[in-house]
Amino acid sequence: MQSRSQAYSIRRGSTRAEVQAVKRQEESEILNEEQDTEALLEPEPSGPHLAAPSYGSPRGLLGSAGDAAARRAAFARNRSLTMNRTKRRWWRSDARALKEILSNWVNVLLVTVPLGLIAGALKWSAEYVFVLNFLALIPMALILGDVTEDLALRYGSVIGGLINATFGNIVEIILSIAALLNGLYDVVAASLLGSILSNLLLVTGCSFFFGGLFNKTQRFNATGNQASSSLLFLAALGFLIPTGASFLFGHGDVHDESKLVLGISRGTAVVLLLCYACYLGFQLYTHTELFEESPEESPGGGLSAEPQEPMMTLLTSLTLLTVITLAVAAASEYLTSSLTEFSQSSGLGEAFLGTIVLPIAGNACEHMTAVIVATKNKMDLSMGVAVGSSIQVALFAVPFAVVVGWCTGHPFTLKFDPFSAMALMLSVAQSNFVTAGATSHWLLGVQLIALYALLSLAYYFK
């Protein structure tokens, strides 16, 4: 989660630093004005040994005897002016922050947000509804990442890390819940599985490939990568247990088989959520040093970077987070409700749309972030974005979907079809194999991308 925050900051470049510099200058001006205002209430020194006040200046007039009421009135007037200036500066600071967030070229797609919502509300054809809402999710995922990071900066590494962990994959979570409530259980499983596959293979592969083009050989944290890899393997085994139980013990009554798989899936979901909580404690509290940026990769040749500050006020951050989350929920609802009809009209299978296409909406901006930091030879950050996102989906988003289905009466299970189970194990095994040496080059990236292409081809013809 710390890697995700640092990577977003690198992607945005020096703009955040410029905004913070202006913000500090304005705060300094406000402080000086308040000090000048408070000085108006201080009585002027008097006595035979002191010079008489100069009544040619406002300060001298206020300092004269009998002018206490005038001093209080001037203080109130100056205080009111200072507060008004402070409010205006807060609004200017928020405006600059929003301008900086919206400066990314991806936000050109924001025009599809109202179009997608209108298309869904007016029940346009499935092609328009699906495509417009799919494109709308891409910039909203980017804005959610920026706002979440800005909000996390207020509460320190632990609470901030929890905020990033909760909202880091909020688009995938909302999308899966929307499909779940529409009864599209296969789409839920496919979209979450596809998010894991794309992060493990496509994102990591592109990071290795493009990072290797700019740097001959790159290194990353071996201990942190080992912990992440073992957790991913545990999650993969957790998904395979209900699948294996269904094929080994489910040859009797269909009702008994469904009850067996559902019970195992719900128990597995609880165990995986507990493992995710332990992982957060391990990363954010007990072993934070294993996930920190290596000294040779830190800015300034190992010198610690200037502490980052939030760019927006708390009210603006919460308002923007709420509005975008509601918009994502609405777009996800329209997207999933039109998926079946779009699949029939386009000829693309639901398995391909769920596993390959839908994860692009939630992960596209994260993909760019991981590749950009990899080209800057910051592989710990790149791996933190790619592998960290996979862990969030595998240990949090997937079991959370099972729990939501449990609470809402939708029997979603962790039973995958044999090919999807094989694809997951192959992806985890290949990812662990190429990252075992804690070094990367462009050829390793080609191998991961090739495996993702092969799986995509299989899902296309499935």
Res 288: pLDDT: 78
For residue 168, tell me if it sits in a domain: yes
325 or 255, which is more confident: 325
What whole-number distance in Å separates Cα of residue 238 and Cα of residue 410? 20
For residue 83, tell me if it sits in a domain: no
For residue 58, tell me if it sits in a domain: no
Q: Residues 303-333: pLDDT tens digits?
A: 344 556 777 888 888 888 899 999 999 999 9
- Map 252-284 to HEC letters: CCHHHHHHHHHHHHHHHHHHHHHHHHHHHHHHH
pLDDT category, 62, cuts 50, 70, 90? very low
| CATH number for the domain that contains residue 320 | 1.20.1420.30
pLDDT category, 265, cuts 50, 70, 90? very high
Report helix, strand or coil for 439: strand
Res 302: pLDDT: 43
pLDDT over 70 for what percent of the chain?
A: 72
Q: Residues 393-409: pLDDT tens digits?
A: 999 999 999 999 999 99
For residue 281, tell me if it sits in a domain: yes
pLDDT category, 145, cuts 50, 70, 90? confident
Whether 35 shows a pLDDT value over 70: the answer reads no
Q: In Å, what is the CA distance from 311 to each residue of 90, 350, 455?
A: 10, 41, 42
Whether 14 shows a pLDDT value over 50: the answer reads no
Q: Tell me the average pLDDT across 292-309.
A: 52
For residue 226, tell me if it sits in a domain: yes
Tell me phi and psi for residue 353, to 5 degrees: -65, -45
For residue 24, tell me if it sits in a domain: no
Res 116: pLDDT: 94
What is the average pLDDT score of the chain?
79
Whether 66 shows a pLDDT value over 60: the answer reads no
Res 250: pLDDT: 61
Res 90: pLDDT: 58
Neighbours of 173 (CB within 10 A): 24
pTM over 0.85: no
Lowest model confidence (mean pLDDT) among 375-384, 425-434, 439-448:
375-384
Res 226: pLDDT: 84
Structural domain that includes position 280: 2-15+111-460
Whether 88 shows a pLDDT value over 60: the answer reads no
Q: Residues 97-109: pLDDT tens digits?
A: 677 777 777 888 8
Res 300: pLDDT: 44
Whether 23 shows a pLDDT value over 60: the answer reads no
pLDDT category, 50, cuts 50, 70, 90? very low
Q: Residues 415-431: pLDDT tens digits?
A: 888 899 999 999 999 99
167 or 256, which is more confident: 167
Whether 301 shows a pLDDT value over 90: the answer reads no
Lowest model confidence (mean pLDDT) among 131-135, 236-240, 258-262:
258-262
Whether 299 shows a pLDDT value over 80: the answer reads no
For residue 99, tell me if it sits in a domain: no
pLDDT category, 38, cuts 50, 70, 90? low
Lowest model confidence (mean pLDDT) among 74-78, 263-267, 278-282:
74-78
Apex CA 116: angle with CA 113 and CA 119, to 5°? 150
What whole-number distance in Å separates Cα of residue 428 and Cα of residue 199? 11
Q: Residues 197-239: pLDDT tens digits?
A: 999 999 999 999 999 999 888 988 887 788 888 999 999 999 9
What whole-number distance in Å separates Cα of residue 431 and Cα of residue 413? 25
Whether 137 shows a pLDDT value over 60: the answer reads yes
What whole-number distance in Å separates Cα of residue 349 and Cα of residue 398? 22
**Pairing mode, strands 218-219 and 439-440:** antiparallel
71 or 316, which is more confident: 316
Whether 154 shows a pLDDT value over 70: the answer reads yes
Q: Tell me the average pLDDT across 363-389.
A: 85
For residue 405, tell me if it sits in a domain: yes
What whole-number distance in Å separates Cα of residue 370 and Cα of residue 145? 13
Q: Tell me the average pLDDT across 23-42.
A: 56
Res 233: pLDDT: 92
Q: In Å, what is the CA distance from 429 to each residue of 166, 233, 328, 391, 392?
A: 27, 8, 33, 15, 18
Q: Are 19 and 311 in contact (CB under 8 A)?
A: yes
pLDDT category, 410, cuts 50, 70, 90? very high
Res 5: pLDDT: 56
Give the residue among 445, 424, 370, 301 at the shortest CA–CA distance from 6: 370
What whole-number distance in Å separates Cα of residue 94 and Cα of residue 370? 27
Q: Are 342 and 261 in contact (CB under 8 A)?
A: no
Q: How many domains does the chain have?
A: 1
Whether 139 shows a pLDDT value over 80: the answer reads yes
> Token pair of 220, please?
């990353």
Res 315: pLDDT: 86
130 or 34, which is more confident: 130
What whole-number distance in Å separates Cα of residue 8 and Cα of residue 461? 36
